[in-house]
Structure 1
Amino acid sequence: MSHPFSRRPDWTGLSDELFGFGTGIGLDPDQRVRLRAYVRAMVPPARSDASLWSDYAELYGGSLADLAGEDVGRSETVEQRLYATPLTHGFLQGHMVHESLTTNPAARLHVGRIILDRLVRLSEAVGTGRVQSREHGQTHFVIEELDALFGAIELRIGTDLAPPRQAGELFGVRLAKGIFSDRHFDGIYGAWRALRIARDFGIDAPALLEIGGGSGHLAYYARRMGCTKFAILDLPPVLVPQYILLATAFGTEAVDFGDRSGPGIALVDAYGAGQERFADWDVVINVDSLPEMAPTDAGRYLDRIRPGGLFLSINQESAVQNGDHRQNVVADLARARGFRCHARMPAWLRTGWVEEVFQAP
Structure 2
Amino acid sequence: MIFRWEFAMMGNIMLVLKRISAVVREGGAPLFFKKVFMRFIVRSDKNFFFHLMPKGHPVGALKLITLSPEKKDVIIAERIMTAFHKAFAEEQSNARERKYVDAWDDNRNEYQDELIKILHSHNPESLVDYLSSMHRRKSTYGVSGNITEYRRLQRNSYLRKKEVAGIKDVLVSFAEALGVLPYETVVPHVAKKNIYENSDFLVGEIENKLGIKIAPPEVEGGLFKLGLKSGSFDHRDMWSLYLAWRIKNFVSTEGSIGEIGGGLGKAALYSSRFGLRDYSIFDLPIMNVMTAWHLIKALPNEKVVLYGEPQEEKALRILPYWIFPDKKFDMIVNQDSLPEIGEEIVKDYLGKIKNCSRYFLSINHEHQAPLFPGSKHRNLVIPRLIHEVGGFTRTYRFPFWLRKGYVEELYEVEQ
> Which has the larger share of helix?
2
Larger mean Cα displacement after TM superposition, 217-226 or 63-72: 63-72
Correspondence 1:264 to 2:315: yes
Q: CA-to-partner distance for each residue in 1:75-98, whole Å, 9 max, x for gaps?
A: 332122121122211120111211
8 Å contact from structure 2 (residues 358, 412) kept in 1: yes
Aligned position for 2:129: 77
Aligned counterparts of 1:256 and 1:56: Cα–Cα separation in 2: 24
5+ residue gaps, structure 2, are: 1-44
| Alpha-carbon shift at residue 196 of structure 1 (Å) | 0.4
> Which of residues 25, 38, 59 is equivalent to 2:83?
38
Aligned position for 2:266: 217
Correspondence 1:360 to 2:398: no
Q: Secondary structure at the match of 1:134?
A: coil
| Alpha-carbon shift at residue 61 of structure 1 (Å) | 2.5
Correspondence 1:244 to 2:297: no
Q: CA-to-partner distance for each residue in 1:134-167, whole Å, 9 max, x for gaps?
A: 1153445453421111011011001111202312
TM-score (normalised: structure 2):
0.77
Q: Secondary structure at the match of 1:128?
A: coil
Q: Secondary structure at the match of 2:112?
A: helix
> Which of residues 107, 120, 133 is equivalent to 2:159?
107
> Which of residues 213, 234, 250 is equivalent to 2:283?
234
Q: CA-to-partner distance for each residue in 1:215-262, whole Å, 9 max, x for gaps?
A: 321111111111111011111111111111100122387112238342
Give 1:273's aligned amino acid. Answer: I
Indicate how the Cα distance of structure 1 residues 111 and 54 shifts in structure 2: closer, same or farther if over 3 A, else same. Answer: closer
Aligned counterparts of 2:167 and 2:412: Cα–Cα separation in 1: 32
Aligned position for 2:203: 150
Give 2:364's aligned amino acid. Answer: N
Indicate how the Cα distance of structure 1 residues 11 and 267 shifts in structure 2: closer, same or farther if over 3 A, else same. Answer: farther
| Alpha-carbon shift at residue 318 of structure 1 (Å) | 2.2
8 Å contact from structure 1 (residues 87, 237) kept in 2: no
Aligned position for 1:255: 304
Give 1:265's aligned amino acid. Answer: L
Q: Secondary structure at the match of 1:358?
A: strand
Aligned counterparts of 2:124 and 2:49: Cα–Cα separation in 1: 47
> Which of residues 330, 333, 338 is equivalent to 1:290?
338
Structure 1 or 2, whichever has the larger Rg, is: 2
Aligned counterparts of 2:199 and 2:301: Cα–Cα separation in 1: 34
Aligned position for 1:121: 173
8 Å contact from structure 2 (residues 304, 315) kept in 1: yes
Q: Secondary structure at the match of 1:118?
A: helix
Correspondence 1:351 to 2:351: no
Larger mean Cα displacement after TM superposition, 128-137 or 229-238: 128-137
8 Å contact from structure 1 (residues 290, 315) kept in 2: yes
Q: State, as a whole percentage, how many aligned pairs show the same letter.
A: 25
Aligned position for 2:24: none
Aligned position for 1:173: 226
Larger mean Cα displacement after TM superposition, 25-34 or 107-116: 25-34
Aligned counterparts of 2:51 and 2:116: Cα–Cα separation in 1: 40
Aligned counterparts of 2:260 and 2:123: Cα–Cα separation in 1: 33
Indicate how the Cα distance of structure 1 residues 351 and 95 shifts in structure 2: closer, same or farther if over 3 A, else same. Answer: same
8 Å contact from structure 2 (residues 339, 381) kept in 1: yes
8 Å contact from structure 1 (residues 346, 353) kept in 2: yes
Indicate how the Cα distance of structure 1 residues 58 and 330 shifts in structure 2: closer, same or farther if over 3 A, else same. Answer: closer
Indicate how the Cα distance of structure 1 residues 167 and 324 shifts in structure 2: closer, same or farther if over 3 A, else same. Answer: same
Give 1:95's aligned amino acid. Answer: I
| Alpha-carbon shift at residue 210 of structure 1 (Å) | 0.9
Indicate how the Cα distance of structure 1 residues 6 and 135 shifts in structure 2: closer, same or farther if over 3 A, else same. Answer: farther
Kindly tell me the number of residue pairs found equivalent between the two proteins: 353
Matches for 1:289-308 after TM superposition, within 5 Å: 289-307=337-355
Larger mean Cα displacement after TM superposition, 350-359 or 248-257: 248-257
5+ residue gaps, structure 1, are: none
Aligned position for 1:22: 65
Aligned position for 2:108: 56
Indicate how the Cα distance of structure 1 residues 11 and 290 shifts in structure 2: closer, same or farther if over 3 A, else same. Answer: farther
Aligned counterparts of 1:274 and 1:172: Cα–Cα separation in 2: 33
